[in-house]
Amino acid sequence: MEIVFFVLAFILISSAISVISQKNPIFSAISLLINLLAMAVLYFLLGSELIGATQIIIYAGAIIVLFLFVIMIFGNQLLPKRDSPRSGLSLNNLKLLEIFIPLIFIVLVIITLTASVVSNVSLNELNLPVDTKPLAKVLFTKYLLPFELVSILFLTGLVGVVVLAKKQ
């Protein structure tokens, strides 16, 4: 279990760094796909099969395909002409790293101090039942209103996309 977790963590972090550092957006999209699939395997490891399957279907099946379609429509024109990083904030400009590395470090320290208070069991001691049925029960009783609101959100998004993308 530990080896699987650490291999997955390595894949996740390296593919995330690859997403933000590739010049070609297609390679970024493929790295994002690798990242999402590794995350789905991590959900399976945690024992939530429904979330993992949803992750694969929606992210890998829909969102990555959308990204690839937009890259395909625009081709190389989408790349900024001067491919230098942004003015003011860049990875070369050390200001960004000076802000973020201490911030991330502080967050990590807080997490390690507080997480053991919240829960002290390890993944091996956890009993992980298949929780699709209780999840569905909660979703359709306690969380029925947010579930219905999501459908309104989808409808709004659908209308908005058609209005935005249609030719004037």
Partner 1 sequence: MITLDYFLILSAILFGVGIIGVVSRRNPLIVFMSIELMLNAVNLSFVAFSKFLNNLDGQIIVFLVISVAAVEVAIGLAIIIAIFRHSEKIDIDEMNLMKW
User: Which of the residues 45 through 74 are near partner 1 (CB under 8 A)?
Assistant: 46-48, 50-51, 54-55, 58-59, 62-63, 66-67, 70-71, 73-74
**Phi, psi (5° rounding) for residue 158?**
-60, -50
Cα gap 54→44, rounded to integer Å: 11
DSSP class of 47? T
Q: Residue 113 CB, nearest distance to partner 1 (Å)?
A: 9
**Do residues 19 and 31 touch, judged by C-beta distance below 8 A?**
yes
**Phi, psi (5° rounding) for residue 127?**
-90, 125
Q: Which of residues 8-47 bind partner 1 (CB under 8 A)?
A: 9, 12-13, 16-17, 19-20, 22, 25, 28-29, 32, 35-36, 39, 42-43, 46-47
Say whether 139 sits in a helix, a strand or coil: helix
Task: Print the binding letters for residues 128-147 with partner 1: x by CB under 8 A, - otherwise.
Answer: x--x--xx--xx---x--x-
Q: Residue 3 CB, nearest distance to partner 1 (Å)?
A: 10
Is residue 103 within the footprint of partner 1 (CB under 8 A)? yes
Q: Residue 128 CB, nearest distance to partner 1 (Å)?
A: 7
Q: Which two tokens stand for residue 72?
A: 């395909």
Stretch (H or E) spanning 114: helix 94-118
Is residue 102 within the footprint of partner 1 (CB under 8 A)? no
